[in-house]
Amino acid sequence: MTMQDCLFCKIVRKEIPAAVVFEDETVVAFLDIKPVNPGHVLVVPRAHAADYASTDDASLRDIAVVAKCVGQAVMRSLQAPGFNIGVNNGRAAGQLVDHMHLHVMPRFEGDGYELWHGKPYAEGEMQEVAEKLKTALG
């Protein structure tokens, strides 16, 4: 996919409509069209990056700061007692649009949205995984 074909690049360039709630020189934030709850916002860099792992550090910092402000606004304006921040990196993680985007999802008691279910490590597995990650992180 090229940047010309990218759905979120088209939103950033104002070629297709979106309910934009914030924009500055590096970041655009707009309402998700299929929200977890009303007020679910996507925060994207203006510069195209396919996913979280390939986004430059400066853009990640900008997105994180905007996401914090959006989360605070969600709590104030929608009386949401909390919010989740999420990123899906790659198809296996549920990423549907190949442009880095961070979700800010308002949360309410009993809203029915569930987080993932964890399971304990097998005997010795935690240490093995930790060592692999330490090696990869260098």
Residues serving a catalytic function are 101
Under 8 Å between Cβ of 40 and 105 = yes
Alpha carbon distance 102, 52 (integer Å)? 9
As a dihedral over the C-alpha atoms of residue 68, residue 69, residue 74, residue 75, rounded to 10 degrees, the angle is: 80
Of 16, 15, 41, 31, the C-alpha closest to 104 is: 41
Alpha carbon distance 35, 60 (integer Å)? 22
Q: In what order do the strands lie in the sheet with 41-45?
A: 20-23, 27-31, 41-45, 102-107, 82-86
